[in-house]
């Protein structure tokens, strides 16, 4: 009977059918057969083969074919989820007993359990299709009888046994790279061989090298790339200058952070005879030096982006290009791609032009220097900076009115002593001069993206867009519930969610819960990615957007330069097929995610090092996460995040209220909510596991 019913639903996979109707079709109308059939239907439903809507059963499409996806291990291997390749279906919950020999990030095949419970389908991993890691970075440890490596990556939940014959002279406490992994049975740990010794764990250089290994960040440039760079001259030929608009006599300046070494954008402003402003956004023309099919091009594509680790940059391009030939340093002729925009004094865009140029920057400003000049109302290039800021304020105001969301993501700044150890952590202050540059870069990116969509004959050309999809409705509903628990209002069913978000974030400004509301809002959003299919940018509120303004450090910007130049000069795109651009978008998005994760990991390592000798000290923080096993606390001063384990909340028995992001005491009713301010005491740090542990202060 079970097989007959399964065959029926497979044959009529789109049918939603009532029990009585099915009984008639299959001939199970007799009372005992009908009762048996109902029991079989219920069993198929609990197994996940069938789904149900009211009284009608239908085939659960997830049960058709193989279930393949990527494993994410949670909570030190206590459980995991498999995100299926088929985006139409929810993640499959994998309990600890179902993980087998799979590791975080592996591509796996899943078989569903016969008995289901909870809102997620449950299953076990039955096949590992592809390992994420062929090499694993970790710290070598020794017991009396054997050696093992504790992996750096938190999702790799099992230590790796190392035979003495495969130590490669590594010593206890060394940071190492393990390869040749073998793991056949889930009830014993994997085995491996040390293939590289990075050095003593804890030193800055070794931590950077280990992060580079963990996130597959190429540390050194291949010889053929360096040979190509050696042949590049920093002199610009007169013939090349003739091909471009010569802007070398214009008052053009760069405005960047103090620590910046590569300057890929510059700005200018002059007042026209009609009283309008002509603003220039001038971007380093990296594409001139990185032709397609060159070794430089291939290496830049492989890297995708520059990675900014604490105290170290892993650049997309070799230093000769990134810090010299392409960098818009003062008093040097440099090749650029310019976007000139004419504004009325009220900030209305009258017209714009995009063209190749040559410039000579007259001044390198820091943000702080520009802010001081604007505050004092005097100084170098004051008139130009004043008008740039005046127009930037208008642009920002218009952008916010049309639904652009201003997320606040505070950045930490590390202060080092003479030994290279972290002696203090501060939070970078946002000043208005940051917005001056930001508004013009956003506008230039918009105008360039629109350029390929205005062909008079209605033609469209392959292009690389920066897109940001609308947030998932379920996540918005969860966000709405969260902010309501803090006394704020957000309606996820309204049509103007971006405007609502902007209003909400403004109302939380300078409040204790501002940081956590921003963070949960960002978590509720989709991730911005690169794509050849333009769907607009939800977060910015733009219909057209790309990345054009940072080609020294981002590969998509370099490609956009090449595409725009071909389109502007030949009115067609010759060099790139659509499929090739799609692959570039996927690679660039993946490398961007790896870079962000690596940068966060390095920050966490430095935060842990800073707290290492501060056990017992008390700090003010905010509850940034609530789980069934405790409270995550983010410290106000350092933004370091750690855990107050539920076992250390010993004044009551606490129950997790998932709906309200709360731990609630069963006897006394005391509540700890997401966003609450607390004072915590530091009780331990674990460098290998990258964990910080607190208790609540009395």
Q: Which residue has the higher pLDDT, 504 or 365?
A: 365
How far are the Cα atoms of 257, 282, 333, 383 from residue 248, in angstroms, in the given order?
24, 12, 7, 19
Sorted by sequence, the CB contacts under 8 Å of residue 645 that are 6+ apart come out as 629, 630, 693
Query: 336 with 356: CB under 8 angstroms?
Result: yes
Q: With a cut of 70, say whether residue 35 has pLDDT above it.
A: yes
Residue that wins the pLDDT comparison between 123 and 633: 633
Cα 305 from Cα 315, distance rounded (Å): 7
516 exposed, middle or buried (CB, 10 Å; 0-12, 13-18, 19+)? buried
What digits encode the pLDDT tens for the residues 129-138?
A: 998 888 999 9
Query: Residue 392: which of 413, 355, 367, 360 has the closest Cα?
Result: 367
Distance in angstroms (rounded) separating the CA atoms of residues 508 and 488: 9
What pLDDT is recorded for position 639?
Answer: 92
Which SS3 state, helix, strand or coil, does residue 640 take?
Answer: coil
- Where in 219-371 does DSSP place strands (E)? 245-246, 252-256, 265-271, 277-284, 307-309, 312-314, 333-343, 349-360, 363-366
CB 122 within 8 A of CB 111: no
Rounded Cα distance between 395 and 240, Å, is: 35
Instruction: Indicate the average pLDDT of the chain.
Output: 89
* Domain residue spans of the chain: 2-62, 65-130, 136-201, 223-468+530-600, 473-525, 612-696
When mean pLDDT is compared across 200-214, 230-244, 504-518, 619-633, the lowest value belongs to: 504-518
Reported as a single tens digit per residue, the pLDDT across 63-83 is 555 788 899 888 676 788 998
- In the chain, DSSP finds a helix count (H) and a strand count (E) of 16, 34
| Averaged pLDDT for residues 431-439 | 91
Instruction: Say which range, 22-31, 114-123, 340-349, 536-545, has the weakest mean pLDDT.
Output: 114-123
| pLDDT above 80 (res 86) | no
- pLDDT score for 577: 87
The pLDDT of residue 512 is 75
What integer is the mean pLDDT of 136-148? Answer: 91
Contact partners, residue 139, CB within 8 Å, separation at least 6:
149, 150, 152, 173, 174, 175, 176, 201, 687, 688
Q: What is the pLDDT of residue 338?
A: 97
pLDDT confidence bin for 121, thresholds 50/70/90: confident
pLDDT of residue 115: 62
**Mean pLDDT of all residues in 145-150:** 92
Can you tell me the distance from the alpha carbon of 133 to that of 228, in angstroms, rounded to the nearest whole number?
Answer: 32
CA distance 541 to 371: 28
pLDDT band at 459 (very low <50, low <70, confident <90, very high): low
Per-residue confidence band for 117, with pLDDT thresholds at 50, 70 and 90 = low
Q: How many residues does the chain have?
A: 698
Lowest mean pLDDT among 134-143, 361-370, 456-465, 629-638: 456-465
- Confidence at 87, pLDDT banded by 50, 70, 90: low
Task: Establish whether domains 2-62 and 136-201 are of one fold.
Answer: no
Q: Determine the topology of domain 136-201 in CATH.
A: OB fold (Dihydrolipoamide Acetyltransferase, E2P) (2.40.50)
Q: Which residue bears the tokens 């900076």?
A: 385
How many percent of the chain have pLDDT more than 90?
Answer: 53
Over residues 55-68, the pLDDT tens digits come to 888 877 655 557 88
How many Cβ atoms from other residues are within 10 Å of residue 32's Cβ?
A: 8
Pick the CATH number of 2-62 from 3.40.50, 1.10.10, 3.10.20, 1.10.3470: 1.10.10
Cβ neighbours for 640, distance < 8 A, ≥ 6 positions apart: 425, 604, 607, 608, 610, 611, 634, 692
Note the pTM of the prediction, 2 decimals. Answer: 0.83
Of 658, 630, 660, which Cα lies nearest the Cα of 645? 630
Rounded to an integer, the average pLDDT of 585-601 is: 95
Mean pLDDT of 226-249: 95
Confidence of residue 341 (pLDDT cuts 50, 70, 90): very high
Residue 245 has pLDDT above 60, yes or no: yes
* Superfamily (CATH) of domain 65-130: Nucleic acid-binding proteins (2.40.50.140)
pLDDT (0 to 100) of residue 58: 85
Q: How far apart are CA 100 and CA 185, in angstroms?
A: 7
CATH fold group of domain 612-696? OB fold (Dihydrolipoamide Acetyltransferase, E2P) (2.40.50)
Does pLDDT of 98 surpass 90? no
Cα–Cα distances in angstroms (integers) from residue 107 to residues 15, 126, 217, 583, in the given order? 32, 11, 21, 20
- The residue-averaged pLDDT of 224-251 equals 95
Say if residues 643 and 693 touch (Cβ distance below 8 Å).
Answer: yes
Cα–Cα distance measured from residue 534 to residue 450, given in angstroms and rounded to the nearest whole number: 11
Residues 6+ apart with CB under 8 A from 525: 468, 471, 538, 539
Q: Once rounded to an integer, what is the mean pLDDT over residues 199-225?
A: 90
pLDDT at 585: 96
């Amino acid at each position: 009977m079970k097989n007959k019913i399964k065959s029926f639903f497979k044959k009529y996979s789109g049918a939603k059918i009532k029990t009585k109707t099915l009984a008639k079709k299959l001939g199970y109308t007799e009372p005992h057969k009908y009762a048996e059939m109902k029991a079989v239907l219920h069993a198929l439903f609990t197994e996940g083969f069938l789904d149900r809507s009211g009284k009608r059963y239908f085939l659960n499409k997830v049960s058709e074919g193989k279930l393949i996806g990527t494993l994410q291990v949670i909570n030190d291997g206590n459980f995991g989820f498999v995100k299926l390749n088929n985006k139409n279906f929810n993640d499959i919950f994998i309990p600890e007993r179902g993980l087998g020999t799979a590791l975080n990030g592996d591509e796996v095949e899943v078989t569903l359990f016969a008995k289901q419970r909870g809102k997620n389908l449950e299953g076990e991993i039955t096949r590992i299709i592809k390992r994420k890691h062929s090499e694993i970075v970790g710290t070598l440890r020794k017991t009396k009888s054997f050696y093992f490596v504790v992996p750096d990556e938190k999702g790799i939940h099992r230590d790796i046994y190392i035979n003495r014959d495969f130590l490669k002279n590594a010593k206890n406490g060394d940071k190492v790279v393990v390869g040749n992994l073998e793991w056949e049975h889930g009830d014993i740990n994997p085995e491996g061989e040390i293939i590289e010794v990075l050095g003593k764990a804890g030193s800055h250089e070794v931590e950077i090298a280990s992060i580079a290994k963990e996130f597959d960040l190429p540390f050194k440039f291949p010889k053929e790339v360096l040979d190509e760079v050696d042949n590049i001259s920093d002199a610009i030929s007169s013939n090349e200058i003739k091909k471009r608009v010569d802007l070398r006599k214009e008052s053009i300046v760069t405005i960047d952070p103090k620590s910046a070494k590569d300057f890929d954008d510059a700005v200018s402003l002059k007042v026209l005879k009609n009283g309008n402003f002509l603003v220039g956004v001038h971007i380093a023309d990296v594409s001139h030096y990185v032709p397609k099919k060159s070794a430089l091009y291939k290496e830049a594509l492989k890297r995708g982006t520059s990675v900014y680790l604490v105290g170290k940059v892993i650049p997309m391009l070799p230093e000769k290009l990134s810090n010299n030939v392409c960098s818009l340093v003062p008093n040097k002729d440099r090749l650029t791609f310019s976007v000139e925009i004419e504004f009325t004094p009220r900030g209305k865009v009258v017209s714009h032009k995009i063209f190749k140029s040559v410039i000579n920057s007259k001044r390198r400003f820091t943000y702080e220097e520009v802010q001081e000049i604007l505050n004092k109302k005097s100084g170098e290039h004051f008139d130009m900076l004043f008008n740039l800021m005046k127009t930037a304020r208008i642009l920002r105001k218009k952008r916010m009115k049309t639904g652009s969301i201003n997320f606040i993501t505070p950045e930490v700044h590390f202060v080092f002593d003479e030994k290279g150890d972290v002696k203090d952590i501060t939070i970078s202050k946002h000043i208005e001069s940051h917005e001056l540059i930001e508004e013009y870069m956003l506008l230039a990116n918009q105008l360039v993206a629109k350029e390929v969509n205005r062909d008079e004959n209605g033609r469209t050309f392959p292009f690389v867009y920066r897109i940001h999809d609308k947030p998932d409705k379920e996540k918005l509903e969860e966000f709405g519930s969260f902010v309501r628990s803090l006394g704020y209002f957000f309606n996820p069913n309204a049509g103007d969610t971006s405007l609502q978000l902007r209003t909400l974030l403004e109302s939380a400004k300078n409040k204790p819960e501002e940081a956590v509301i921003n963070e949960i809002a960002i978590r509720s959003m989709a991730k911005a990615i690169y794509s050849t299919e333009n769907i607009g940018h939800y977060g910015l509120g733009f219909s057209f957007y790309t990345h054009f303004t940072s080609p020294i450090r981002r590969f998509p910007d370099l490609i956009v330069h090449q595409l725009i130049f071909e389109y502007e000069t030949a009115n067609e795109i010759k060099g790139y097929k659509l499929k090739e651009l799609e692959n570039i978008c996927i690679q660039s998005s993946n490398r961007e995610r790896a870079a962000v994760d690596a940068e966060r990991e390095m920050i966490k390592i430095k935060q842990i090092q800073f707290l290492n000798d501060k056990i017992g000290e008390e700090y003010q923080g905010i509850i940034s996460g609530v789980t069934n096993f405790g409270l995550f606390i983010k410290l106000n001063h350092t933004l370091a995040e750690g855990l107050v384990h539920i076992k250390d909340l010993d004044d009551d028995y606490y129950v997790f209220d998932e709906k309200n992001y709360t731990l609630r005491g069963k006897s006394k009713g005391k509540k700890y909510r997401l966003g609450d301010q607390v004072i915590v005491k530091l009780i331990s740090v674990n460098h290998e596991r990258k964990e910080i542990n607190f208790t609540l202060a009395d």
